Amino acid sequence: DQQVKQNSPSLSVQEGRISILNCDYTNSMFDYFLWYKKYPAEGPTFLISISSIKDKNEDGRFTVFLNKSAKHLSLHIVPSQPGDSAVYFCAASARNYGGSQGNLIFGKGTKLSVKP
């Protein structure tokens, strides 16, 4: 049973426009959420995170929004650039509960293609 769901396997966006990647979760104990970016045959790199005490976190072109009541988060990339083309993974953990609850649970990823 998937606790973290990324329902869109792929997304195509024009350069300069906004990319919106979505993620849903089912475990109400999750209190920390992260986005990772991954290129083929490489390890994921951390992009941005958000704690459950916030509803928005911004870092340059990347903004993550968290809607706790809907158990939904989204990553906005504005403006999108061809170099943003990669697979984006959403991850969540119940960090404050400690132990194995703090392990990261990953979604299946969304492949973003930004067209020049």
User: What is the contact surface with another protein in residues (CB under 8 A)?
Assistant: 4, 6, 9, 32, 34, 36, 41-46, 49, 89, 91, 93, 95, 98-109
Q: In whole angstroms, what separates CA 2 from the centre of its chain?
A: 15
CB of 60 to another protein, least distance (A): 16
Residue closer to another protein (CB basis): 15 or 72: 72
Min dist. Cβ of residue 44 to another protein (A): 5
Which CB, 76 or 95, lies closer to another protein? 95
Whichever of 49 and 74 has its CB closer to another protein, that residue is 49
Give the pairing of strands 4-5 and 56-59: unpaired
**Is the CB of 15 or the CB of 29 nearer to another protein?**
29
Q: How far is the CB of 105 from another protein (least distance, A)?
A: 8
Q: Which residues have a Cβ under 8 Å from the Cβ of 107 and sit 6 or more positions away?
A: 2, 4, 5, 6, 23, 89, 90, 91
**What are the two backbone dihedrals, phi and then psi, of residue 108, each rounded to the nearest 5 degrees?**
-85, -10
Strands 110-115 and 45-51 turn out to be unpaired
